[in-house]
Amino acid sequence: MRETRFHPGDWVVYCKTKHSTHPGPRAENVTPAAFGEQYSYTVDKYWVVDELLSDGRLRLLTRRGKEHVVRPDDPNLHRARWWERLFYRQRFLAIAATKPATR
């Protein structure tokens, strides 16, 4: 069996695609819809690996306590780079502060 490159507690960045009428200040790659009512854009999300599931997928925790399940080979997912760990440290630490004590 292939060893996974992610482990519980790892800090990861997920590039999430969103759609809305008003992209936020962290929006990147903003493109308008065909008639201009909405925009499509990406936002980097700073999450922590909570658990490796039996089927190989990862359970990720957000700052507000939500959970997302993604495949470890998802092209939108990567380990936090050294500068992301430095500049966004408080976002990752906030997740640890909101994590439930037991599961």
Residues β-bridged to residue 16: 43
Taken in order 78, 24, 90, 66, the sign of the CA dihedral is: negative
* Average confidence score pLDDT of the chain: 91
Tell me, yes or no, whether 3 lies in a domain. Answer: no
What band does 97 get if pLDDT is binned at 50, 70 and 90? confident
pLDDT value for 1: 42
Let me know if residue 74 belongs to a domain. yes
Domain count, the chain: 1
Please check whether residue 70 lies inside any domain of the structure: yes
Q: Which domain holds residue 60?
A: 11-98
C-alpha neighbours within 13 Å on the C-beta side of residue 26: 9
For residues 91 and 77, what is the distance between their CA atoms, to the nearest angstrom?
17
- Rounded-to-10 torsion of CA 84, 88, 93, 94: -140
